[in-house]
Amino acid sequence: MTFEDIKEGLKKISKLMNLNEKEINILLKFKRIAKKELEINGKTYDAWRIVHNDSIGPGKGGIRFHPAVSEDEVKSLSFWMTVKTSLVGLPFGGAKGGVKINPKELNKEEIEKVSRAYIKTFNEFIGEDKDIPAPDVYTNSQIMGWMLDEFEKIKGRHEPGTITGKPVELGGSILREKATSEGGRIILNLFLERMNKKPRETRVVIQGFGNAGMNIAKMLHDEGYNIIGVSDSKGGIINKSGLDIEKMIKIKKEKDSVIYYPDIGKIYNKELLELETDVLVLAALENQITEKNADRVKAKYILEIANGPITSGGDDILCKKGIIVIPDILANAGGVVTSYCEWVNNITGGIFSKEVMEGILKEKMTTAFRRTYELYEEQKTKTFTMRNAAYIIAIKRILGAEKARGSI
């Protein structure tokens, strides 16, 4: 159970921070858990919108369409959004949504019906100063466009700040498509500078070749990193001399999987996680490295682009092995930083230019990295991780807001 794993991780942090029972309970409490059933063409689908904490600001978080969506997963994702937005200094809390559905089995018209049904069902819970959805797994800007349109029809007014990740024509950000990957690239470069390691000396393996994985592969390849292995849901490929990323992206878009890359070694997804490499980028789903396989991981450093790809037990093993993990709440925060810029532009009439937004993204990611890494370095213990440091910084801000409100 993913949220049970979060509780285990929070126990470790609470000991490091000397949190009392009331503070721990506040961190585990949810502002709102809304579960509904969507009815489309005679079929019903479970759907959720959950807000974890809004002490700092309105809820913020994506909506995913996936057959494995569950309440436990959405709770976990909303918790991670709370600490993520806190860590990078945004005026948001954490939220998440999902529909238990397989979008690969639906045509465009059916996906639009699901999108509009979601808003018809949950519109009372969202708003630009209440809870602000965005894209997530198997949702995109077009789906956000349908959702905004439905919301504004119901409310009878324009409110573009209610949803981010929209098409540019509806007030979306031109940076959004690559924002998560760009944030991850910034963080990885800053980290490797501290390790005195240059891109051309660095081998990279990427698990997950969806939007985020594909974009960060292109970015790192262009900077001179040696991408030696990638995988998607159908399998992976490996070439220790380096992969042609442009060719791979073309194949992925045409055939929907990297495994069709010709004349090259094929590998199972689980084997890819165990390749010898400098950097392992986790850009797929949750719970990919656990106590069952962590001991076989050979990467020196791990960059978490996905949410929660390493369990608490897996984290402990990696730490004992000396593998440094750059945590998800830091590494993948570029998406929500750019969503913040889009939201500000929507509610103010567009005061940020592209250059200003790029500057905000770089500043927010750089500041969060510096604070996290400096706290990590200060501890100088084998059991204190970058994840510990990131959570401590984020939780201090959340509890500070709760104390200011009189909740503690």
Q: Alpha helices, DSSP H only, in 88-210?
A: 108-122, 141-155, 176-194
Whole-number Å distance between alpha carbons of 141 and 407: 37
Residue 138 in contact with residue 208, Cβ under 8 Å? Answer: no
Q: How far is Cα 291 from Cα 81, in angstroms, rounded to an integer? A: 24
Beta strands 32-40 and 59-66 are unpaired
Q: How far apart are CA 129 and CA 151, in angstroms?
A: 14
Residue 96 annotated in active site? yes
Tokens for 378, please give them. 């200060």
Identified catalytic residue from 36, 60, 96, 100:
96
Give CA separation, 207 vs 47, 98, 144, 203, in Å. Answer: 28, 23, 26, 14
- Tell me what percent of the chain is helix, strand and coil, each rounded to the nearest 5: 50, 20, 30
d(CA 344, CA 322): 41
How far is it, in rounded angstroms, from Cα 137 to Cα 64?
A: 5
Q: Quick check: 281 and 213 in contact, CB under 8 A?
A: yes
CA geometry: angle 316, 300, 7, nearest 5 deg? 25
Structure tokens of 216?
């960060």
Closest C-alpha to 209, from 150, 160, 272: 272
Write phi, then psi, for 327 (nearest 5 degrees).
-70, 155
Check: CB of residue 337 under 8 Å from CB of residue 180: no
Question: What secondary structure letter does DSSP report for 41?
Answer: T
C-beta separation of 216 from 206 below 8 A: yes
Show which residues are catalytic: 96
